[in-house]
Amino acid sequence: MSEQKRYKLERVGPADVVQLYAEGFEQLNSKEKTFIYYLYLAALAGRDITIEQHHRHALEVRDLFEQIFQHQENIDSEVRPKISSYLKLFWINNGFYDNLTSRKFVPECTFEQFKNACMTAARNGAQFDVAGETLEAKLERLKKVVFDPNYEPMLTNKTPGKDFTAGSAVNFYSRNLSYNEVQAWAKTGQEKYPLNSYVAKEKGRIVEKVWRAGGEGVPPGVYAADLKAVIKYLEQAIPFASSEYQAETIRKLIRYFKTGSLEDFRQYNIHWVKDDSKVDFIMGFIEVYLDPRGQKAEWEASAFYTDPEQTRLMQNLAKFAQYFEDKAPWKNEYKKKIEHSPIANVINVAVETGGTGPVSPIGINLPNEQAIRQQYGSKSVLLHNIVDAYEKSQGKVLVKEFAWDQLEIEMEEKFGSLADNLHTAMHEVIGHGSGKVSDKLQGRDPADFLPGYYNTLEEARADLVALWNAWDEKLVDIGLARGKGEARQIGETMYRQQIRVTLTQLRRIEKSDQLEEDHMKSRALIGHYIMENSNAVKVETREGKTYYHVVDFEAARKSTGELLAELMRIKAEGDLRAATALIDRYGLKVDTNLRDEVQQRVKKLDIASYTGFVMPQLEPVVNGGGKITDVKVSYPLDLAKQMLEYSRFTRAEKAAMAKQK
């Protein structure tokens, strides 16, 4: 069966477009399917929030390009594909900044060609939204935004010495605010909505504009129409929740969307983290990677359901969380007593939008707030059908190019996918959730002490926990390896993968001389630290090609332990100076000659830097009484078709909500 499925659909610039399959959806019962269906609509309804967060003009730009795309007749045949490629990359990235390099991308046609295409599309019946201005004036106004790569060039800029806030285009702070101003203001305790507000300077005063729907006695804020539409579908989902407990989870989330209050979000998280329902979701302002200060969160929404077979293994790992905590290499004072063993599920995704779609993570661990993790535990999910679609669409060409010898290739073929899955599982289940911070932080989140550095540090810490335990004998008891020998081989494969990625990830940064994305920085930190502080890795060259060859796994593990202990100390103590020194030294700058070599080698292989997924499509089967009796899943195999439908849906929902008042 699976041979007939189409995974890779097309290639657009640096991205592969891949169809995602909702494996096992048909086996759910109709109540579960209906529940997912309403969550799916809620996820779609919130999608434009992310796009507007990425740039204050991003929705306007998208609408222009979507109109041209839908009215293409008689547009110059050389210009047409350039407009389509730009729009597809926009859809995949939720805006015109590359999700890996954080840099702006621009269309390959000229502004004049674009303008002509707009005029032609207008004659073909395109409806451009030009409230209060002419189309020409609108295009002129957006010219720099779309066509000038040097105008607001970075989505998020954390270059040491640069102004993090003014230098980042992300739509979290008004353009007239400097980093120092925001930090000084936040220090006075006036930042009441750190996660979900836009910070503006108006008439010399700094104010927060909260992202909320309004209700419960609170006035509406930014994104009110979007959030009201989300709430409408969440309310419809409630009767189909698996239990009264889960219904309450949703009610708490709705309350938070109405008030925007941090305390309501905490109450929701405390409830959600204990909810182990088969169908589950993540929705809201969650991850803070895009904020140079690490405070404001990007909108994301996912609905998913567990894969029972795979989940058993993950839950076994979670049961041993205390065992792994006890044998961590950090000081005893940073070891925590695990009172609730973390929830760990292997899931299949039905839909992801915003921060998690079309580009998707492979594992998620939440909530992010350290105090909740310490007190109430955490929940991890491994995204099974996403990982599967990655593997089916990519193959092993990259490994063959960058592996030093035949042994490395054979080990990868035999144990690569086991090692990869184990790495993700340990990263999420026993990595992020581990460790305890010092009382000196007085209950404040360590992220507050490490602005610009916390995310990189935390990602590295979770990876290092996986490496530290890579061939632990308990993995055999858990059922993740069939014997000590196999555990060792899986573990060694994991180290090879971790070191190799230090090299191969250079393919994803184009001509940057430094890394921007937190996961990439964390991988560089680990790889370079091990290489410079031990003899575990030999740098070999053959026919002008560079290889990172792991020669001593014990030495690599020893080095892993040193770095892990230090990162835990930095997090626990909020030691910004030490974080800066380590990450700037090992995780930031790139050897540009090596970068060019890697990119040349990869160019010949023709592989993508990242993947945008086309989501499954859900459609209700409704009986004569208007009741949903079943939900059908289908696969569009077409990015443009799906994205245009999503845009249409969200636009209509927002318009209806705006009218409702």
Q: Residue 170 or 462: which CB sits closer to Zn ion?
A: 462
Q: Which two tokens stand for residue 399?
A: 């490994």
User: Measured from the CB of residue 462, what is the shortest distance to Zn ion in angstroms?
Assistant: 5
Per CB under 5 A, the segment of 26-34, 40-48, 410-418, 457-465 that binds Zn ion is 457-465
Q: Residue 426 or 462: which CB sits closer to Zn ion?
A: 462
Per CB under 5 A, the segment of 91-99, 451-459, 551-559, 606-614 that binds Zn ion is 451-459
Q: d(Cα 633, Cα 615) in Å, to the nearest integer?
A: 10
Per-position x/- string for 400-439, each x denoting binding to Zn ion as judged by CB under 5 A, each - no binding: ----------------------------------------
- Chain-centre distance for alpha carbon 269: 19
Q: Residue 208 or 298: which CB sits closer to Zn ion?
A: 298
Per CB under 5 A, the segment of 156-164, 399-407, 455-463, 494-502 that binds Zn ion is 455-463
Q: Residue 431 or 612: which CB sits closer to Zn ion?
A: 431
Q: Residue 445 or 459: which CB sits closer to Zn ion?
A: 459
Instruction: Tell me the three state secondary structure of residue 147.
Output: helix
What is the footprint of Zn ion within residues 250-269 (CB under 5 A)?
A: none
User: Measured from the CB of residue 466, what is the shortest distance to Zn ion in angstroms?
Assistant: 10
Q: d(Cα 337, Cα 325) in Å, to the nearest integer?
A: 8
In DSSP terms, which residues pair with 301 in a beta bridge? Answer: 283, 353
Q: Which two tokens stand for residue 311?
A: 């989940």
Q: d(Cα 262, Cα 264) in Å, to the nearest integer?
A: 5
Q: In what order do the strands lie in the sheet with 298-306?
A: 279-287, 298-306, 343-354, 379-383, 363-366
Q: Residue 68 or 467: which CB sits closer to Zn ion?
A: 467
- The letter for the amino acid at 230 is V
Q: Residue 427 or 654: which CB sits closer to Zn ion?
A: 427
Phi, psi at 611, each rounded to 5°: -125, 135
Per CB under 5 A, the segment of 114-122, 172-180, 438-446, 454-462 that binds Zn ion is 454-462
Q: d(Cα 128, Cα 201) in Å, to the nearest integer?
A: 31
Q: Residue 229 or 364: which CB sits closer to Zn ion?
A: 364
User: Measured from the CB of residue 459, what is the shortest distance to Zn ion in angstroms?
Assistant: 5
Burial of 644 (0-12, 13-18, 19+ CB in 10 A): middle
Q: Residue 48 or 459: which CB sits closer to Zn ion?
A: 459
User: Measured from the CB of residue 423, what is the shortest distance to Zn ion in angstroms?
Assistant: 11
Is the separation of the CB atoms in 465 and 314 below 8 Å?
no
Nearest alpha-carbon partner for 194 in 400, 78, 368, 359? 368
In DSSP terms, which residues pair with 302 in a beta bridge? Answer: 282, 352
CB atoms within 10 A of CB 316: 17
User: Measured from the CB of residue 361, what is the shortest distance to Zn ion in angstroms?
Assistant: 8
User: Measured from the CB of residue 238, what is the shortest distance to Zn ion in angstroms?
Assistant: 31
Nearest alpha-carbon partner for 344 in 279, 287, 270, 276? 276
Q: Residue 86 or 304: which CB sits closer to Zn ion?
A: 304
Q: Specify whether the backbone of 127 is left (phi greater than 0), alpha (psi in -120 to 50) or beta.
A: beta
DSSP 231: H
- Chain-centre distance for alpha carbon 606: 24
Q: Residue 14 or 363: which CB sits closer to Zn ion?
A: 363
- Chain-centre distance for alpha carbon 243: 29
Q: Residue 34 or 502: which CB sits closer to Zn ion?
A: 502
Q: Which two tokens stand for residue 610?
A: 């990242």
Q: Residue 17 or 501: which CB sits closer to Zn ion?
A: 501
User: Measured from the CB of residue 150, what is the shortest distance to Zn ion in angstroms?
Assistant: 32
What is the footprint of Zn ion within residues 519-558 (CB under 5 A)?
A: none
Per CB under 5 A, the segment of 383-391, 458-466, 552-560, 642-650 that binds Zn ion is 458-466
Size of the site for Zn ion (CB under 5 A): 2
User: Measured from the CB of residue 2, what is the shortest distance to Zn ion in angstroms?
Assistant: 29
Per DSSP, helices labelled H in 505-638 are 518-533, 553-573, 576-586, 592-605
User: Measured from the CB of residue 72, what is the shortest distance to Zn ion in angstroms?
Assistant: 41
Per-position x/- string for 319-348, each x denoting binding to Zn ion as judged by CB under 5 A, each - no binding: ------------------------------
In DSSP terms, which residues pair with 530 in a beta bridge? Answer: none
User: Measured from the CB of residue 507, what is the shortest distance to Zn ion in angstroms?
Assistant: 21
Per CB under 5 A, the segment of 125-133, 366-374, 459-467, 530-538 that binds Zn ion is 459-467
Nearest alpha-carbon partner for 159 in 200, 96, 102, 97? 102
What is the footprint of Zn ion within residues 462-481 (CB under 5 A)?
A: 462
User: Measured from the CB of residue 315, what is the shortest distance to Zn ion in angstroms?
Assistant: 19
User: Measured from the CB of residue 424, what is the shortest distance to Zn ion in angstroms?
Assistant: 9
User: Measured from the CB of residue 428, what is the shortest distance to Zn ion in angstroms?
Assistant: 7
Per CB under 5 A, the segment of 57-65, 167-175, 437-445, 461-469 that binds Zn ion is 461-469
Is the separation of the CB atoms in 299 and 284 below 8 Å?
yes
CB atoms within 10 A of CB 374: 18
Per CB under 5 A, the segment of 14-22, 96-104, 460-468, 559-567 that binds Zn ion is 460-468
Torsion angle, alpha carbons of 97, 99, 101, 105, to 10:
-30
> Which residues would be at the binding site for Zn ion (CB under 5 A)?
459, 462
